[in-house]
């Protein structure tokens, strides 16, 4: 990675503004149900504290749309951080207002405060220069460690870098190292697995990966668009009728590039997307009307497993079926288990894929699980991410 990190600057006695991704899920009572994003920010925070910095943390939570809403307060995050760091993390009642300024002015070296949800101010998502300047005025150094929002050009993810020396934290460094190496210098064979609903969501990623991978494995609902494009009936399955030409074009490009393009050979179908629906497995060419495809079938699972056993680098983005429903989670779970046993670099693009791996209890068996859904997709696509571009080069 050619971006400076917190290791490359002197932070002792300095006020350091750290953009984290504390957008964590909570239950109805406001209890955090998954603290992974908080835990993944700890190495950077602890390093800064050990080096005697005054650490000012900021993040968004949910979509309050520029209004102060109690259910999106970062109070539960401050509580969890205090527990994880074993020191009090004070929560400012505002972002750049009187309370935040007062808490910052009273800070001693090795202390942490957390600003309230940056999206409580409508100027955050507009990347308003005045708001970015007010954020920057609180600190002397800016650290971005929120990979999950680095594809957004917001005030706290990119704008502040116009006013402060800007470097990356350890989480972003890790993301760029693992995903960057996989794309630029992969151990081969390099296999990508793409799932999810729509071809249109993944066009850029598919086209970019066809330039790099040896094998591209397709699963999830987007497979039915490829079946339909070849003239097969897909019943009531999700299918993008306006993307059939594109699907054929993708298959043709794979052929030209010498990339092995793998589609399911059988599929588990049901009447409705419910846990108690009637279901059966059929060949992909034999989906009847009134039925909908919800998972890859047993033969496909075995075929994909065999292919994956030969791989040395595997990137996976998007579940292979309706994994939220147990009877349609088999494909996703079986491939996750296979990855856990393979001697290869295994990189899971965030979002639903990460949730599926977590649900299967296999997180610790993967080389790297990305913390960014949309950000990791755009990174795989080769797009420039504003939250990374704004950081200083080494």
> Which CATH number does the domain housing residue 69 bear?
3.40.50.1260
Residues 189 and 162 in one domain: no
Flag whether 123 is in a domain.
yes
The predicted structure's pLDDT at residue 359: 81
In this structure, are 192 and 114 located in the same domain?
no
Q: Determine how β-strand 292-296 pairs with β-strand 266-270.
A: antiparallel
Q: Based on the structure, what is the number of domains in the chain?
A: 2
Mean pLDDT of 246-263: 97
298 and 203 both lie in a single domain: yes
Please give the average per-residue pLDDT across 357-366, as a whole number: 87
The answer to the question of residue 386 being in a domain is: no
Residues 54 and 186 in one domain: no
Residue 55 pLDDT grade (very low, low, confident, very high; cuts 50, 70, 90): very high
**Which residues are known to be catalytic?**
37, 198, 351, 374
Query: Under a CB-based contact definition with an 8 Å cutoff, are residues 309 and 342 in contact?
Result: yes
Say what the pLDDT of residue 374 is. Answer: 83
Closest CA to 320 of 226, 209, 221, 229: 221
- Residues 252-279 have a mean pLDDT of 96
- Three-class SS state of 144: strand
Asked if residue 390 belongs to a domain, the reply is: no
- The band of 181, judged by pLDDT with boundaries at 50, 70 and 90, is confident
Percentage of the residues of the chain whose pLDDT score is greater than 90? 85
Asked whether residue 1 is assigned to any structural domain, the reply reads no
Residue 27, domain extent:
6-171
pLDDT confidence of residue 357: 86
Contacts of 94 (CB under 8 A, 6+ apart): 100, 115, 116, 120
Provide φ and ψ at 171, rounded to 5°.
Answer: -70, -45
Q: Are residue 242 and residue 356 in the same domain, yes or no?
A: yes
Query: Among 127, 144, 171, which residue terminates a domain?
Result: 171
The position carrying tokens 């808490």 is 103
Query: What is the pLDDT, as a whole number, of residue 371?
Result: 83
pLDDT of residue 231: 96
pLDDT value, residue 287: 95
Identify the DSSP state of 293. E
């Amino acid at each position: 990675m050619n971006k400076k990190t917190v290791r490359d600057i002197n932070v002792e006695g300095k006020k350091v503004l750290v953009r984290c991704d504390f957008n964590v899920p909570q239950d109805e009572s406001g209890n955090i149900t998954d603290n992974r994003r908080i835990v993944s920010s700890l190495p950077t925070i602890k390093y800064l504290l050990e080096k005697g910095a005054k650490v000012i943390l900021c993040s968004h939570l949910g979509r309050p749309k520029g209004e102060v809403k109690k259910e999106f307060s970062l109070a539960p995050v401050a509580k969890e951080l205090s527990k994880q760091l074993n020191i009090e993390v004070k929560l400012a009642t505002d972002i750049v207002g009187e309370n935040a300024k007062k808490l910052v002015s009273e800070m001693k070296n090795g202390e942490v405060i957390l600003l309230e949800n940056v999206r409580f101010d409508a100027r955050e998502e507009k990347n308003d220069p005045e708001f970015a300047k007010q954020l920057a005025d609180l600190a002397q150094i800016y650290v971005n460690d929120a990979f999950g929002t680095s594809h957004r050009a917001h005030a706290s993810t990119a704008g502040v870098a116009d006013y402060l020396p800007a470097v990356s934290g350890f989480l972003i460094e890790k993301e760029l190292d693992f995903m960057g190496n996989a794309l630029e210098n992969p151990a081969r064979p390099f296999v990508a697995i793409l799932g999810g609903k729509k071809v249109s969501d993944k066009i850029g990623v598919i086209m970019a990966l066809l330039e790099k991978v040896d094998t591209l494995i397709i699963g999830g609902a987007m497979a039915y668009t490829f079946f339909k494009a070849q003239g097969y009936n897909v019943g009531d399955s999700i299918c993008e009728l306006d993307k059939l030409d594109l699907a054929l074009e993708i298959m043709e490009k794979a052929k030209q590039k010498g990339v092995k393009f793998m589609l399911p050979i059988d599929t588990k179908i049901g009447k409705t997307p419910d846990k108690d629906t009637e279901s059966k497995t059929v060949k992909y060419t034999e989906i009847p009307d009134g039925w909908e495809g919800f998972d890859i079938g047993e033969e496909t699972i075995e075929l994909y497993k065999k292919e994956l056993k030969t791989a040395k680098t595997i990137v996976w983005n998007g579940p292979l079926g309706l994994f939220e429903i147990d009877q349609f989670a088999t494909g996703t779970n079986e491939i996750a288990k296979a990855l856990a046993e393979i001697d290869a670099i295994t990189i899971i693009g965030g979002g639903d894929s990460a949730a599926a791996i977590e649900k299967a209890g296999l997180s610790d068996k993967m080389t790297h699980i990305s913390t960014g859904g949309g950000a990791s997709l755009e990174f795989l696509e080769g797009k420039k991410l504003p939250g990374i571009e704004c950081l200083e080069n080494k």
